[in-house]
Every structure is written in structure tokens, then in C-alpha cells.
Amino acid sequence: TVNLTDKNLLVIGLGLIGGSLAKACRQNKIFASISGFSRKAETMSDALSLGLVDEVSDDLQALVSKADVIFLAVPILSTPIVMAQIQPYLRNDTIVTDGGSVKGTVVKAGLELLTDAQLKMFVPGHPIAGSERSGVTAADEHLYIDHRIILTPIAETEPEAVQVVSQMWKSVGAEVDIMAWDYHDEVLAATSHLPHMLAFNLVDTLSKQSENREIFNYAAGGFRDFTRIAASDPTMWHDIFIANHRAILKVLDSYLDELHKLRNAVAVSDGEYMKFVFQEAKEAREHFS
Ligand code: NAD
């Protein structure tokens, strides 16, 4: 195991994902110190008073220069902008990792902006944990316990850097998987991005059709379960759909084909086809808890 207790962690973007990591690391005394930076001064003072970090500062250069590990947790389209801001101050032994939901954008930004030495310390990642809540007040030190973290190191990344980031995540109770970034983006398009699109779309469609949203008074548990994620942050999801549009369109198109077949089965009352689809889905769904 790697020793992190003499290192400084800098979290940039003190919202749900960054704030939760900072808080969990601080409470478990994983690092020597934890610094925080966020776009708004108010977020930084909240992070300090909520006990998420040891210090905040608006002097990004000073924070980056002394950081051993930097965790970027800003919306995905802001990640390349922040990477460009910190790049001039990165030491060659500073590890840069992130929690962004789409890895292609982050990998591309790293390859464009970082030097060869900095790329050795570059470990893109994505925690498969979260919620429909956002912002600094949503930070939760238990968020990552028993959740999976996917790391997507590139060819240039040194194994030692992956080890440090893995150790950080394991220390806050998470499990770490390693995956190629493009495979990650395809998998998450299917398991996360498509379901969010369907939830946003369904709630929006019904709300347009129903005066005063009266229809939702009659929504039962199934509707609530299915649409919880439609309360997610619009900016974050706007970024994800732009960043991962290619993989999303691929899975969306095959979904639409299947939905169309089901529509036709309903139109002609093809009960056999419907039963077949529902049965297959039931078995697949019962396969995971
Ligand atoms: P959030 O809105 O809760 O937090 C983002 C924080 O970044 C905010 O404090 C915001 O002020 C700050 N910020 C925005 N632009 C910035 C900039 N240019 N410089 C510095 N700070 C900036 O969002 P979140 O849910 O924590 O998401 C952060 C990242 O984690 C996103 O890339 C998202 O894709 C990813 N992610 C989210 C979830 C989830 O369920 N919410 C799960 C996994 C990964």
C-alpha cells in the first residue's frame, strides 16, 4: 500500500462529488492536508465552515504548486478549462485525477494540454456514485462507501500514479476498477446517460400534457422510482450529453428501434412479443440487486 499521510490533496470544484471526497478523506485522515478551490467564493467559505477541507484560497497558483494529488470535480465541459488554468503550475510529480462522468473529453484535454512528464501522472477517473442533489451542501462523507470507481489510465500513465489514486479511493471505502476510457464512455452511455435522458424526457412530456402538473398527484411508487433522476442538475447533464454524444446516439438509436417494435406489438396486441420482452427484462433485472 502507498502512504498518503504526508501528501496534500487539492480538490477543485467543491460540489457533491469533490466535496464528498474531501470530507471523507478529511474525516478518515487520509492525507496530511486537504485544500479546496471552487469558482464561487461563497462555495469555498461554505466548504470551510462545513469542515470539508483544511483550507481554501483563491490563489490557484499557490494551491497547485504545493499539491501532491489534484482531484478535478467540475462539470465535464469545464474540466479542460480548469486543466489549462492549472497546467503551468503543476510539478512533474503532481498527480492529476478527476471525477468527470465522460472520460473522452478529459483524456483529450490531458493529451492536448499536459507535458509528457505531466501525462505520466495523469489518471482520469469516474466514481459510480452520486445523487440527484448537487452543490457544496450535498457533500456526504459516506457517498463512496461500497461504490465502484472506474479509473481510465492512458498509455502514458505510470502505474505508480494509478496506485496512489486507487489507494485514495479504497481509503474512503470504494472499490476500484480499471477500464479503457472509450469503453467506459460506451458503458456509461448505456447504464447512466440513456436512463437520465428517458427520465428527463418522460417527466417533461407528461408535465407539458398536464395542466398544473395535476397528473403527478396520481403518480405511484413506480413512477417515482423511474423518474427520481429527472431532478438531477441540468447543467451537469447538458455537459454530459454534449461530451458523450457519439456513444449516446449509438445506444439511443438501438433503444428507439426496440421501443418501436414494442409500440407495434401494442398496436396489434401482439401479447406474445410483449410477454417475451417483459420476461427477458425481468430475468435480467433480477440478476442484479
Ligand atoms: P456540483 O454542481 O455539485 O459541483 C460542481 C462544483 O464545481 C461547484 O461547486 C461549482 O461551483 C464548481 N465549478 C464549476 N465550474 C468551475 C470552474 N471553472 N472552476 C472551479 N470550480 C468550478 O456537481 P457534481 O455533481 O459534484 O459534479 C462534478 C463532476 O462530477 C461532473 O463532472 C460530473 O459529471 C461528475 N459526476 C457527478 C455525479 C453525480 O451524480 N452528481 C456522479 C459521478 C460523477
Do residues 166 and 197 share a domain? no
Judge if 21 and 60 occupy the same domain. Answer: yes
| pLDDT given at position 210 | 81
Specify whether 189 is located in the same domain as 281: yes
Mean pLDDT, the chain, rounded, equals: 96
Point out the domain boundary residue: 128, 144, 179: 179
Domain of residue 245 covers 184-286
- How do residues 184-233 score in pLDDT, each as one tens digit? 999 999 999 999 999 999 999 999 988 777 888 888 888 999 999 999 99
- Ligand 1 pocket by Cβ (under 6 Å): 12-18, 38-40, 43, 73-76, 78, 81-82, 99-101, 126-127, 130-131, 134-136, 233, 236, 240
Is residue 56 domain-shared with residue 165, that is, in the same domain? yes
Mean pLDDT of 256-271: 98
pLDDT at position 289 over 80? no
Same domain, 199 and 163: no
The pLDDT score that the predictor gives to residue 217 is 82
Q: Is residue 1 part of a domain?
A: no
**Strand-by-strand arrangement of the 122-123 sheet:** 55-56, 33-37, 8-12, 69-72, 95-98, 122-123
Among 131, 154, 179, identify where a domain stops.
179
Tell me if 173 is assigned to some domain. yes
Q: Judge whether 75 and 82 are in contact, CB under 8 Å.
A: no
Is 2 within a domain?
Answer: no
ipTM of the complex: 0.98
Task: For residue 52, list its beta bridge partners.
Answer: none
Same domain, yes or no, for 25 and 88?
yes
Q: Among 179, 200, 221, which residue terminates a domain?
A: 179
51 and 112 in one domain?
yes
Which of 10, 11, 37, 38 gets mutated to test ligand 1 (max ligand atoms within 8 A of its CB)? 38
pLDDT at 22 over 80: yes
